Amino acid sequence: MADGVPARQPLREKPPTIWEVARLAGVSHQTVSRFLRKDAAMRPETARKVAAAVDELGYRPNQAARTMRTRRANRLTALLPGSTDRLSPELLRGAAAEAHEAGYTLDVVSLEGDAAARAARLEALLQPESTDGILAFASLGETAGGVTLADVEVPFVTDGVYDDNMRSLGAFADASPAAVLVRHLADLGHRRFAHVAGPPEWASARGRRAVYEATVAELGLESRAVVEGDWSTRSGWEAATRVVGGSGATAVVAASDQIAFGVLTGLQSLGLRTPEDVSVCGWDDWEVGRYFRPTLTTVAVDRELQGRHTVRRLLALLRGEPPVGPVAAADLNRVILRESTGPAPRPPAT
């Protein structure tokens, strides 16, 4: 201080946050919030520590934002990983519809980078004035900006549907319908099977292959071929023309509808008919499968329900209601039987 004028503090790149005050005072950010609200029940010693940290950092709460928070912003935020090429639009449509019906606007924020990088960019969103609640369709790790996510004041739900590369996890990776498909085909008389799998780095692909192999073994059936694909129609076509068509299999369980379309056209190019010679089923219930010839037996995944359910979990937190658990896999996945699967071909007369 010179001539009674306080020394000018060095300029900061950004204003101090409530988290920095909490760290300096050695308390939680909730305790700092109580101090700012002038909570009379706060211990004097704790209040002095927080006050000293506020003064040292020059922290000033955003009064306009706090006023908005008191009135509630009526906004929810959906966090997505930066890579959204495989993100289902039905997922966001369901989440947005559920939010709107409850009187909220849903903001969608895409965060680039891996889990650690995304978490480091969350500090602004984790401030209570930024949003009423957050639902994450991306892995965020355990901390963001040095803050433990379990202690975040903003209601926060992590769905766990996708990993850093939008690969399915959790209920979306449930593979139990593969057993239903194999059992249905066995009931139709099929004994020789083939599976065209998805890429092994996907939990869903690994699960579908494992359930297929376990069910074939359990029922005493024969797996003539397992071919690794990459979710593409091309990989299904190559599997059919190079391996499956000559394997003697009469039923093919494909890991996705895209693969199944390739299998169907590949078998047709070899002069094999579906389902008269070879039955084929897929997974995902793509709309084109309902109009393909033959129409495709598949597994429908109710992604819109999953989006709605995630918002319901968040709304329960906001309202102080009993917690809502994740949606059950059995409610998400449903086998749809269509024309591409039929009775096993009769062996040729001798």
What band does 138 get if pLDDT is binned at 50, 70 and 90? Answer: low
Q: Does residue 69 have a pLDDT over 50?
A: no
Same domain, 292 and 181: yes
What band does 203 get if pLDDT is binned at 50, 70 and 90? Answer: confident
Same domain, 152 and 181: no
CATH code of the domain in which 206 resides: 3.40.50.2300
Domain end among 302, 317, 341: 302
Nearest to 295 by CA among 308, 304, 282, 306: 282
CA angle 234, 240, 242 (to 5 degrees): 95
Q: Is residue 219 part of a domain?
A: yes
Half-sphere exposure (Cβ direction) of 180: Cα atoms closer than 13 Å: 16
Distance from C-alpha of 241 to C-alpha of 247, rounded to nearest angstrom: 10
Same domain, 212 and 245: yes
DSSP 324: -
Tokens of 144: 């963001």
Same domain, 157 and 202: no
Same domain, 98 and 188: no
Which residue has 């709309």 as its token pair? 287
Distance from C-alpha of 161 to C-alpha of 303, rounded to nearest angstrom: 10
What total number of domains does the chain contain?
A: 3
Q: Does residue 267 have a pLDDT over 90?
A: yes
Predicted local confidence at residue 86, as pLDDT: 55
Which residue type, as a one-letter code, is found at position 39? D
What band does 65 get if pLDDT is binned at 50, 70 and 90? Answer: very low
Same domain, 209 and 261: yes
Domain end among 284, 302, 320: 302
Q: Is residue 139 part of a domain?
A: yes
Residue, of 55 and 203, whose pLDDT is higher: 55
Judge if the upstream peptide bond of residue 294 is cis by omega within 30 degrees of 0: yes
Q: For residue range 48-64, list pLDDT tens digits in order.
A: 999 999 888 888 765 44
Torsion of CA 6, 8, 9, 12, to 10 degrees: 150
Distance from C-alpha of 212 to C-alpha of 209, rounded to nearest angstrom: 5
**What pTM does this model have?**
0.65
Chain mean pLDDT for the chain: 80
Residue, of 319 and 251, whose pLDDT is higher: 251
Same domain, 47 and 103: no
Distance from C-alpha of 52 to C-alpha of 24, rounded to nearest angstrom: 9
Convert 232-283 into a string of H (helix), E (strand) and C (coil).
CHHHHHHHHHHCHHHCCCCEEEECCHHHHHHHHHHHHHCCCCCCCCCEEECC
Same domain, 228 and 275: yes
φ/ψ (deg, to 5) at 93:
-65, -40
Predicted local confidence at residue 98, as pLDDT: 93
Predicted local confidence at residue 343, as pLDDT: 97
Same domain, 91 and 131: yes
Q: Answer whether 76's CB lies under 8 Å from 135's CB.
A: yes
Look at phi and psi of residue 22 and say left if phi exceeds 0, alpha if psi is from -120 to 50, else beta.
Answer: alpha
Q: For residue range 224-252, list pLDDT tens digits in order.
A: 999 999 989 999 999 999 999 999 999 99
Same domain, 294 and 199: yes
Distance from C-alpha of 258 to C-alpha of 336, rounded to nearest angstrom: 16
Q: Does residue 272 have a pLDDT over 50?
A: yes
Distance from C-alpha of 30 to C-alpha of 202, rounded to nearest angstrom: 39
Q: State the CB neighbour count (10 A cutoff) for residue 346.
A: 7
270-to-38, 63, 245 alpha-carbon distances in Å: 79, 72, 7
Most confident of 43-57, 141-155, 282-296: 282-296
Residue-range definition of the domain harbouring residue 41: 18-55
Least confident window among 138-147, 191-200, 276-285: 138-147
Q: Is residue 204 part of a domain?
A: yes
Q: Is residue 236 part of a domain?
A: yes
Distance from C-alpha of 25 to C-alpha of 40, rounded to nearest angstrom: 18
Tokens of 334: 């449903």
Distance from C-alpha of 173 to C-alpha of 118, rounded to nearest angstrom: 23
Least confident window among 31-40, 41-50, 257-266, 275-284: 31-40
How many residues comprise the chain? 350
Same domain, 124 and 43: no
DSSP structure string for 121-190:
T-TTTTSTTT-SEEEESS---SEETTEEGGG-SS-EEE---B-TT--B-GGGG--THHHHHHHHHHHTT-
Same domain, 194 and 111: no
